[in-house]
Amino acid sequence: MLEEKIKVLDSENRHTFGSRQLAFNLNLDPEVTEHIGRRRVTRLMRKLGIECCVRRKRHNRMKQSEQHIKDNVLNQEFDQAKQPDQVWLSDFTQLAYGSHGEYSVKLSGVLDVYSGYLVAHHISATETKEAAIETFEKAFKVAGNPSPLVHTDRGSAYVSGDFNDFMFQHNVRRSMSRPGTPYDNSMMERYWNEFKVCWIRTHPRPTTYQELESLIESGINYFNSERRSAKRNGLTPEEYRNKAISKQVTA
């Protein structure tokens, strides 16, 4: 029975759960009457030939110690976010479509560090300041105009005067990654990496823009509203975020 449950969890979550998350979800199952340890799950995963498709992205740590940029306010301290909308991350990623992947778009997003919830996203032909502003306009509308610390890389869209004027109008504190140091925005990069590996690549390649748009929307809904994690006490990002917001309202 345990092996079958592992197979089902692995399939339902598109091979994105490692031994820790599988063990956590198994112990939530009322039909499982004994505690299931992570090592036992690891052994069963090997037996069943199950592997998690997500791999932690490695970055060159040497560059981090060689460079010092004053405006890297976040400084990789992602755990400083103690409630929703205190710290937001943003970045663009590229997605392909067409019979042979001959077309591509840029997908930008705003990620809430506290909950792992993607507050807003926007699809554009290229990485522009207009696309970055549009993404954040959506985010502020969803979140009710908070004043978070916003961390991005030093892409042309994020260093533009128009974008930073827009940030200033919303009373936002800015933080930027050091040049050549993607690890400074690793949580956002990891999100897009998992989105591609665990969602986009597990579906047939979209042949039209409409198919790609539909795939993006369903994928973001899955990551926000269906994907549970032990780090969030078994809740989805949406549930974890809403629970914290409701506590703020009643406090």
Query: How many other CB atoms sit within 10 Å of the CB of residue 233?
Result: 11
Residue 216 identity (one-letter amino acid): I
Helices (H) and strands (E) in the chain, counts: 10, 5
Instruction: Please tell me the predicted confidence (pLDDT) of residue 251.
Output: 59
For 1-24, the pLDDT digits (tens) are 788 888 888 777 767 778 888 888
CATH code, 210: 3.30.420.10
Residues 11 and 76 placed together within one structural domain of the fold: no
The answer to whether 118 and 111 have CB atoms below 8 angstroms apart is yes
Per-residue confidence band for 51, with pLDDT thresholds at 50, 70 and 90: confident
Residues 185 and 140 placed together within one structural domain of the fold: yes
Query: How many other CB atoms sit within 10 Å of the CB of residue 227?
Result: 21
pTM equals: 0.76
Residues 110 and 36 placed together within one structural domain of the fold: no
**What's the structural domain count of the chain?**
2
Helices (DSSP H) in the chain: which residue ranges? 2-12, 19-28, 38-48, 61-66, 129-143, 156-159, 161-169, 186-198, 209-225, 237-250
Q: Which domain holds residue 31?
A: 2-48
Residues 36 and 137 placed together within one structural domain of the fold: no
**Backbone φ, ψ for residue 131 (5° rounding):** -65, -40
In a domain, 60, yes or no: no
In a domain, 186, yes or no: yes
Instruction: Please tell me the predicted confidence (pLDDT) of residue 67.
Output: 30
Of 95, 163, 86, nearest to 132 by C-alpha is: 163
In a domain, 241, yes or no: no
Instruction: Please tell me the predicted confidence (pLDDT) of residue 47.
Output: 83
Which among 5-14, 104-113, 154-163 has the top mean pLDDT? 104-113
Residues 43 and 71 placed together within one structural domain of the fold: no
Residues 21 and 75 placed together within one structural domain of the fold: no
Instruction: Please tell me the predicted confidence (pLDDT) of residue 93.
Output: 97
Residues 219 and 139 placed together within one structural domain of the fold: yes
In a domain, 161, yes or no: yes
Give the Cα separation of 128 and 105 in Å (integer).
12
In a domain, 42, yes or no: yes
Q: What percentage of the chain reaches a pLDDT higher than 90?
A: 63
Residues 128 and 174 placed together within one structural domain of the fold: yes
Query: How many other CB atoms sit within 10 Å of the CB of residue 165?
Result: 10
Residues 38 and 98 placed together within one structural domain of the fold: no
In a domain, 239, yes or no: no
Give the Cα separation of 185 and 181 in Å (integer).
8
Residues 77 and 188 placed together within one structural domain of the fold: yes
Task: Provide the token pair at 153.
Answer: 């890389």
DSSP-derived 3-state class of residue 149 = strand
Residues 41 and 143 placed together within one structural domain of the fold: no
Instruction: Please tell me the predicted confidence (pLDDT) of residue 60.
Output: 41
- Higher pLDDT: 12 or 78? It is 78
In a domain, 82, yes or no: yes
Residues 43 and 147 placed together within one structural domain of the fold: no
Residue 69 has pLDDT above 50, yes or no: no
In a domain, 238, yes or no: no
